[in-house]
Structure 1
Amino acid sequence: MTSAVDWMVSGHEYFASCLAAIDDATVAGPSRLPGWSGRTLLSHVGHNARALGRLAHWAATGEPTPMYASTQARADEIDAGASWSVQRLRGFVEEEQERLADALDGLTDTMWRNEVVTAQGRAVPATTIPWLRSRELWIHACDLPAGGDFTAFPRDFLEALIDDALARRATQEIVVDVDGPPADLARWLTGRGDFSPQLRTATGAPPPALPAWL
């Protein structure tokens, strides 16, 4: 079975390949995320790697280093990076991904079991960090202007993503009784597009409106 570290590596490769196919002018324009430009998206993806690196440091040293000092600090980081040139942002994403990978490579078995706290306030073992990064990379590749698509995701990753999204929806007290192609289901559950005609509810009723999933 593919590990989350493998998904992180392949997710970065997929994100990078999608990004490489897009010229700077297109990246500087609107992304597929409402209200975000491509530069805002790249800033977020790069700063997410940096933030997860803080969790890796926490796991390695025992020193609490949250992903972000506050919600406002997270927004400020993203906004600051969104003002950079596209070329700088391309390099930033690569550099921060490499730093995160190096930090994770340095964790021992004991360190991987150490508890850290996500940006949503969940206490999780450090083994969760590669999954969090995988999720960011694969999904945000599809948020790039003229970017990727969920149909390109590995099947086992799609299944894990669906399970994760369903668990998140359950915390929002949303019952999802929907069946259909995994790519369409994952896309809908994560708020990337309308309810596909390929998806079916058990009763035939319209699906519930979904709020932001994270």
Structure 2
Amino acid sequence: MTAPTEQLDRWRRGEEHLGTALGRLTDEEFDGPSLLPGWTRAQVLAHVAHGADALAAHLTEARTGVAQQVADDLAGLPPAELRAAVLAATQRLAETVRAVPDDVWSAQVRTGEGHVVPAADLPWLRAREVWVHAIDLDAGIGFADVPDDVLAAVVDDVFRQWDARDTVPDVALFAGDREWGTGALAVAGTLPAVTAWITGRSDGAGLQADGPLPTLAPWL
């Protein structure tokens, strides 16, 4: 298996997007609420840094066969140190990805959620994380700032997750010429609005539907 070029590109663009959001935050804003209920911005950033190191550990283990340890509990760091920790973790991940030979992308790895996936799936798991959490930082970046190909891939991912848990809502979801689901309730809107709703980042404001919008199962 060769490197997953499309997903690596989405990941790289996502890391740049997250960096833009991080750069907009002042140190005083780190302890403020994010758009994730109950999470501060510092907690989101600590989660993102931990995620980068976890992915690097998975890729290193796939390449070397040696299990890696990942540091945790970064949310309590002062803002300047947490900012540096996020950037350092991102750099470590980039260096790890560059060291992965083509044949290793087919290796099976176990994710933090316990799923066994090919290493080639990992860049997308990181891409969806950084694109969405950049929005969660509430730094003036929204779903309308995310490229359509990434938004559509996120919606695809949500439906895959729901399908795996048998929690697909009874909807047919439309965004432009794209369609998901075969349910009885037709729901339509722009791709950013649709993505915000099904990822639990909006209540569906701005969407059009044949009836009341359902309560959606969690995505992740």
Distance 1:145 1:164 in 2: 23
Give the match for residue 178 of structure 2: none
Q: How does 1:101-140 map to 2 (within 5 A)?
A: 101-140=94-133
Deviation sequence 1:113-143 (CA, Å, 0-9, x none): 1010112222111111111111111000000
Distance 2:99 2:21 in 1: 29
Give the match for residue 86 of structure 1: 79
What residue identity is the alignment partner of 1:12?
E
Q: 1:144 aligns with which of 125, 137, 143?
A: 137
CA contact (8 A) 1:19 1:147 kept: no
Q: How does 1:6-17 map to 2 (within 5 A)?
A: 6-17=9-20
The TM-score normalised by the length of structure 1 is 0.87
Give the match for residue 190 of structure 2: 181
Give the match for residue 42 of structure 2: 39
Q: 1:56 aligns with which of 56, 59, 72?
A: 59
Runs (4+) off by over 6 Å: none
Give the match for residue 212 of structure 2: 206
Higher normalized helix content (fraction of residues): 1
Shift of 1:211: 3.0
What residue identity is the alignment partner of 2:161?
R
CA contact (8 A) 2:15 2:130 kept: yes
Shift of 1:21: 1.3
Q: Secondary structure at the match of 2:117?
A: strand
Shift of 1:205: 2.2
What residue identity is the alignment partner of 1:86?
P
Q: Secondary structure at the match of 2:144?
A: helix
Higher normalized strand content (fraction of residues): 2
What residue identity is the alignment partner of 1:182?
L
Q: Secondary structure at the match of 2:91?
A: helix
Gaps (5+ residues) in structure 2?
175-188
Of all paired residues, the percent bearing the same amino acid is: 35
Deviation sequence 1:1-60 (CA, Å, 0-9, x none): 971111111111111111211211112211111111111111101011011111111210
Gaps (5+ residues) in structure 1?
69-73
Give the match for residue 177 of structure 2: none
Q: Which has the higher contact order (CA 8 A, sep 6+)?
A: 1
Deviation sequence 1:98-119 (CA, Å, 0-9, x none): 1111111111111111010112
Give the match for residue 71 of structure 1: none
